[in-house]
C-alpha cells in the first residue's frame, strides 16, 4: 500500500523539453507525460481504452497522443478527440489524467484524489534550482522497495563499508562509532544527525576540498515521508571556521515504480566552487558510482526478502533507530489515509537551522 495523496517526483523538468514524451510507471500505474506547445504539462494513463496499447508506443501529433494501433487521439486532458472510422468518438473513450506540476526544476505528479492536489503541498527542495547552489544530478532505477532505500539513506553508517572508494572512511574510523542524534518532527519527518570531528577525509571530500589533512564533518540524514530524502553534509579543514564549511545538500527523491522497484532521482547540490564545471562533473561521476554501490546492496536485500520472506531487519541494531522510526511513521500515514481518503499532509521544511550552528 502506498501513500497516494502526496506529490511524487516524476522526473526532471528538463526531460520534457521540446516535444519529448516520457513513459514511466508510478505506484504500479503506467503513465505518459509531455508538455504541450503552450507549456501545459500533461500526465495520462499510458493506455488506449480501445485495445489497451500503451499510448507511448504510438506517436505525438501536435499536442495530442495518437495510438499506434488504430489512430485514436487524445488531448492533454485525456479526452478522445478522434476515433478513425466514425464521425465522433464515444464519450466513454477518455483516459485518466493526473495533476502534473513543475517546481524547483522537477516534475511532480499526484496519483491520489485529483481535487486534493494543491501545488503548495509540493515539498521544498529549492536547492536543485537555486542560483546559490550547483547541482550534480542523475537517476537510478533500483529494483528494491522504496522503504529499503529510505532505510539505507537514514543509516549512513554503511558508508564505512559500502562506499570506501568515495564517501566512506576506513573501518578504524567507522561512522557508526560517532554518536547519532535522532529526532522526529510531526507525523512525517525524521532526522539523524552526527558530528564527526577531526577525521581523515574520505577520498570524495579530499577531492572537493582539495585538502588532504584532517577535517571536521557533519552529516544529517533527513527523511520526509514517503520518499523525500536529503543528506545535509558539511566538511571543513580542522582549525577553520564551521561557517565557511563546504556544504552539500544531497537530494534523494524517491518514487515507487512498483512495490519492488523505485525511481531514484538524485542531485548533490553544493554551495562552493559554483563555477567549476569539471568539479560538477567529477561530483556527478563520484555520486553515480556511490549510488551504484547502494544499488548492489539494495537489490541483494530485495532478492533475499523475496526468497526468504519476513520483515527486515531480522535483528535490529542500534543504528537502525532512524530507519525503524521512519518505517513506523510511513505505516501510520498509510493507515490514516486508508481510514480517511481525503487526508492530506502539510509540507515540513527539511532543514532545521539549529544543525548549521554547530
Ligand atoms: Fe549509500
C-alpha cell at 136: 550534480
Q: Ligand 1 centre from 162 Cα, in Å? A: 7
* Same domain as 352, residue 318: yes
The alpha carbon of 99 and the centre of ligand 1 are apart by a number of angstroms equal to 32
Q: What are 79-114's pLDDT values in tens digits?
A: 999 999 998 888 888 999 999 999 999 999 999 999
114 and 140 assigned to the same domain:
no
How much distance in Å is there from the Cα of 142 to the middle of ligand 1?
A: 13
The answer to whether residues 298 and 185 belong to one domain is yes
Q: What is the pLDDT along the chain (358 residues), one digit of tens a residue?
A: 899 999 999 999 999 988 999 999 999 999 999 999 999 999 999 999 999 999 999 999 999 999 999 999 999 999 999 999 998 888 888 999 999 999 999 999 999 999 999 999 999 999 999 999 999 999 999 999 999 999 999 999 998 889 987 777 666 678 888 999 999 999 999 999 999 999 988 888 888 888 889 999 999 999 999 999 999 999 999 999 999 999 999 999 999 999 999 999 999 999 999 999 999 999 999 999 999 999 999 999 999 999 999 888 999 999 999 999 999 999 999 999 999 999 999 889 998 765 554 4
Beta strand pairing call for 100-103 and 64-66: unpaired
Q: In the 8-state DSSP scheme, what is residue 168?
A: P
- Cα within 13 Å of Cα(182), Cβ side: 14
- Cβ burial 138-177 (10 Å sphere, 16+ → b, else e): bebebebbbbbbbbbbbbbbbbbebbeebbbbeeeeebbe
Q: Please indicate, yes or no, if residue 126 is contained in any of the structural domains.
A: no
Q: Which of 193, 149, 156, 184 is nearest to 325 (CA)?
A: 184
β-partners of residue 139 are 265
Are residue 180 and residue 266 in the same domain, yes or no? Answer: yes
CA distance 219 to 195: 7
In a domain, 127, yes or no: no
**Cα 199 to averaged position of ligand 1 atoms, centre (Å):** 19
Output the CA 292–ligand 1 centroid distance in Å. 9
pTM (two decimals):
0.95
Cell of 231: 543528506
Apex CA 13: angle with CA 9 and CA 302, to 5°?
A: 35
Q: Where a domain ends, among 119, 142, 163?
A: 119
pLDDT of residue 264: 98
- 197 in the same domain as 315: yes
Q: How far is the CA of 88 from the centre of ligand 1 (A)?
A: 55
d(CA 243, CA 144): 38
d(CA 126, CA 222): 15
Indicate if 102 and 229 belong to the same structural domain: no
Tell whether 171 and 74 lie within a shared domain.
no
- The answer to whether the beta carbons of residues 198 and 343 sit under 8 Å apart is no
Q: How far is the CA of 163 from the centre of ligand 1 (A)?
A: 7
Dihedral angle, C-alpha 291, 292, 296, 302, nearest 10 °: 60
Count the Cβ atoms, other than its own, within 10 Å of residue 39: 7
d(CA 282, CA 204): 9
Per-residue model confidence as pLDDT tens digits over 300-314:
999 999 999 988 899
In a domain, 1, yes or no: no
Q: How many angstroms is it from 155 CA to the middle of ligand 1? A: 9
Q: How far is the CA of 197 from the centre of ligand 1 (A)?
A: 21
The confidence score (pLDDT) of residue 353 equals 66
Same domain, 192 and 331: yes
Q: How far is the CA of 294 from the centre of ligand 1 (A)?
A: 5
Whether residues 277 and 353 fall in one domain: yes
Distance 345 CA to ligand 1 centre (A): 28
CATH of the domain at 209: 3.90.380.10
Helix/strand/coil for 15 = helix
Q: 195 with 276, same domain?
A: yes
154 C-alpha to ligand 1 centroid (Å):
10
Could you count the other beta carbons within 10 Å of the beta carbon of residue 243?
10
Q: Which of 119, 152, 179 is the last residue of a domain?
A: 119
Instruction: For residue 38, give its domain range.
Output: 7-119
283 CA to centre of ligand 1 in angstroms? 15
- 175 CA from centroid of ligand 1 (Å): 12
- Within a domain: residue 211? yes
Q: How far is the CA of 157 from the centre of ligand 1 (A)?
A: 9
Q: How many angstroms separate the alpha carbon of residue 26 from the centre of ligand 1?
A: 23
Q: Which domain-ending residue is among 92, 119, 146?
A: 119
- pLDDT for 97 equals 98
Number of structural domains, the chain? 2
Amino acid at each position: 500500500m502506498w501513500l497516494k495523496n502526496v506529490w511524487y517526483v516524476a522526473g526532471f523538468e528538463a526531460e520534457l523539453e521540446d516535444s519529448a514524451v516520457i513513459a514511466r510507471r508510478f505506484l504500479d500505474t503506467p503513465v505518459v507525460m509531455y508538455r504541450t506547445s503552450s507549456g501545459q504539462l500533461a500526465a495520462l494513463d499510458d493506455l488506449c481504452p480501445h485495445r489497451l496499447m500503451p499510448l507511448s508506443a504510438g506517436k505525438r501529433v501536435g499536442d495530442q497522443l495518437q495510438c499506434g494501433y488504430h489512430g485514436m487521439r487524445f488531448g492533454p486532458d485525456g479526452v478522445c478527440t478522434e476515433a478513425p472510422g466514425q464521425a465522433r468518438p464515444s464519450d466513454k473513450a477518455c483516459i485518466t489524467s493526473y495533476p502534473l506540476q513543475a517546481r524547483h526544476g522537477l516534475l511532480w505528479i499526484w496519483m491520489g484524489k485529483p481535487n486534493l492536489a494543491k501545488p503548495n503541498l509540493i515539498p521544498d527542495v529549492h536547492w536543485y534550482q537555486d542560483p546559490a547552489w550547483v547541482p550534480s544530478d542523475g537517476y537510478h532505477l533500483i529494483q528494491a522497495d522504496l522503504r529499503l532505500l529510505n532505510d539505507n539513506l537514514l543509516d549512513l553508517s554503511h558508508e564505512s563499508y559500502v562506499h570506501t572508494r568515495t564517501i566512506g572512511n576506513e573501518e578504524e574510523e567507522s561512522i557508526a562509532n560517532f554518536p547519532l542524534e535522532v529526532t522526529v518532527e510531526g507525523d512525517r519527518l525524521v532526522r539523524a544527525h552526527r558530528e564527526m570531528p577531526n577525521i581523515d577525509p574520505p577520498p570524495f571530500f579530499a577531492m572537493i576540498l582539495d585538502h588532504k589533512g584532517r577535517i571536521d564533518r557533519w552529516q544529517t540524514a533527513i527523511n520526509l515521508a514517503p520518499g523525500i530524502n536529503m543528506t545535509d553534509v558539511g566538511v571543513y579543514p580542522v582549525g577553520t571556521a564551521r561557517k565557511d564549511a563546504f556544504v552539500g545538500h544531497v537530494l534523494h527523491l524517491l518514487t515507487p515504480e512498483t512495490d519492488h522497484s523505485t525511481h531514484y532521482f538524485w542531485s548533490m547540490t553544493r554551495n562552493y566552487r559554483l563555477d567549476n564545471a569539471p568539479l560538477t562533473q567529477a561530483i556527478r561521476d563520484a555520486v553515480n558510482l556511490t549510488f551504484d554501490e547502494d544499488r548492489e546492496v539494495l537489490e541483494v536485500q530485495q532478492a533475499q526478502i523475496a526468497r526468504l520472506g519476513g520483515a527486515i531487519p531480522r535483528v535490529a541494531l542500534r543504528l537502525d533507530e532512524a530507519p525503524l522510526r521512519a518505517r513506523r511513521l510511513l505505516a501510520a500515514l498509510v493507515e490514516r489515509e486508508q481510514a480517511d481518503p481525503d487526508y492530506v499532509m502539510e509540507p515540513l521544511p527539511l532543514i532545521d537551522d539549529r544543525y548549521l550552528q554547530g
